[in-house]
Amino acid sequence: MNYLDNAATTLVKPRAVGEAVHRALTGAAGYARGSYAAAQRAGDLVYDCREQAAALFGLYDPSRVVFTQNATHALNIAIHALARPGMKVAVSGFEHNAVMRPLALHGIDPAVLHTPLWQPERMVQEVRRALGEGTELFILNHVSNVFGAVCPLDEIGRLLSAADVPLILDASQSAGVLELDVSRCPCLAAVCMPGHKALYGPMGTGLLLALDDRLASRPLMAGGTGSLSESMNQPDFLPDAQESGTPNVPGIAGLAAGIRFVRSVGAANIAAHERKLVRELARALEANERLEVFSHPSQTGVLSVRVKGVPAEQAAAQLADAGIAVRAGLHCAPLAHRTAGTEETGTVRLSFSFYSTPGQAEQAAEAFKLVKKL
């Protein structure tokens, strides 16, 4: 199988990830619930992952690394803690349903900024306009999961910091690919990410970098934390405030190994590798007159394509028959497709990882030549 759906989940992991999961499964138990060796081992594994994540993202305090099931879980925690009905919330035109649905669940209809594809200067202008209209909270998709378009985080961060407006950053497609130092962006209140994508961890893992103290005072759920058990109130300190119940210690151990891999290779090197493959694939596909290719020099390792006259799901099924694993449709981000004008058709999405090869890109380009209307 030629796996090109890494924007959903990286399939090929460093060997150390699986080994770490196995060691934790067979040797760690009772996290924060005992003083015996297996419980101590679980505590060490969990803290190691907090330290690895803090080091990767420039976070001064590992206790602000909160473990979640995935990025969606992290975004729900952040939105629950920081957003209120009636609050003026603004979002970009590329947000995932993991942002839009929690906002709707909380009765919030955000202002969706007009942020055309491949126009970062326009996005900055729109943020400036939104701030002038009283925006109180901003939520931003760092990299579009559909198009690989990178938002101008530094410029937007400066505007939000100057206006003292907090930012929730969806780093689902950027964590592990783009260099992200939270200390450079004072407006950041929360950074949300999955473990199973470019951090090369197992599915069922995610991280919330809880930078705003309010994230300790409004938990999404309550329960046992192994701390302050005598009180019926949820602990009001991090990470316990947002970590109820027994955590996924094997997954967290694997995630620590994945983050260690990213740190050893370097996010810049990973991004350069993926971007090279995307450029090569885009050039090959653009030679096919039947294809509409959404490419730009700044994009990450995510590429969307439309086949003229062929529905996206049908094209993806034919590619699957040829051994090419891709994703098709709206990718849980109808807002991004509305922004790009692809809402009615969706796209076929191909996405790379550090383990992807030029041969995989060549094979995919050849397979597209055989896609036809059925």
Q: What is the mean pLDDT of the segment spanning 138-167?
A: 98
User: Distance between CA atoms of 195 and 177, rounded to whole angstroms?
Assistant: 13
Position 329 scores a pLDDT of: 97
Q: Is the dihedral of CA 333, 286, 198, 267 positive or negative?
A: negative
Q: How confident is the model over 95-147, as pLDDT tens digits?
A: 999 999 999 999 999 999 999 999 999 999 999 999 999 999 999 999 999 99
User: Distance between CA atoms of 196 and 8, rounded to whole angstroms?
Assistant: 8
* 319 — pLDDT class (breaks 50, 70, 90): very high
Q: How far apart, in Å, do the first and last CA atoms of the chain sit?
A: 23
**pLDDT above 90 as % of the chain:** 98
Position 373 scores a pLDDT of: 81
Mean predicted lDDT score pLDDT of the chain: 97
Q: How confident is the model over 296-309, as pLDDT tens digits?
A: 999 999 999 999 99
Domain-wise residue ranges, the chain: 15-265, 267-368
* 77 — pLDDT class (breaks 50, 70, 90): very high
Q: At what angle do helices 37-57 and 15-27 cross, to 10 degrees?
A: 150
Within 8 A by CB and 6+ apart from 291, the residues are: 285, 305, 306, 307, 308, 368
Tokens at 299, concatenated: 């994009």
Q: How confident is the model over 23-40, as pLDDT tens digits?
A: 999 999 989 898 999 999
Look at the chain and count its residues.
Answer: 374
Side chain identity at 280, as an amino acid letter?
E
Is the per-residue pLDDT at 265 higher than 90? yes
Q: How confident is the model over 338-356, as pLDDT tens digits?
A: 999 999 999 999 999 999 9
Is the per-residue pLDDT at 86 higher than 80? yes
Is the per-residue pLDDT at 374 higher than 90? no
User: Distance between CA atoms of 26 and 15, rounded to whole angstroms?
Assistant: 17
pTM: 0.97
Within 8 A by CB and 6+ apart from 232, the residues are: none
User: Distance between CA atoms of 176 and 262, rounded to whole angstroms?
Assistant: 6
Q: How confident is the model over 6-25, as pLDDT tens digits?
A: 999 999 999 999 999 999 99
* 323 — pLDDT class (breaks 50, 70, 90): very high
Is the per-residue pLDDT at 325 higher than 90? yes
Is the per-residue pLDDT at 223 higher than 90? yes
Task: Give which of 352, 369, 354 is closest to 301, Cα–Cα.
Answer: 352
User: Distance between CA atoms of 81 and 60, rounded to whole angstroms?
Assistant: 21
> What is the secondary structure of 199-266 as a DSSP string?
T---TT-EEEEE-SGGGGTS-SS----SS-TT-SSPP-STTGGG--S---HHHHHHHHHHHHHHHHH-
Tokens at 111, concatenated: 């202002």
Q: What is the mean pLDDT of the segment spanning 315-339?
A: 98
* 2 — pLDDT class (breaks 50, 70, 90): very high
Position 80 scores a pLDDT of: 98
User: Distance between CA atoms of 343 and 171, rounded to whole angstroms?
Assistant: 23
Q: Which helix (H) or strand (E) holds 291?
A: strand 291-294
Q: Is domain 267-368 in CATH 3.90.1150.10, yes or no?
A: yes
User: Distance between CA atoms of 182 and 167, rounded to whole angstroms?
Assistant: 11
Note the CATH number of domain 15-265.
3.40.640.10
| CATH topology identical between 15-265 and 267-368 | no
Is the per-residue pLDDT at 76 higher than 80? yes
**pLDDT above 70 as % of the chain:** 100
Q: What is the mean pLDDT of the segment spanning 143-165?
A: 98
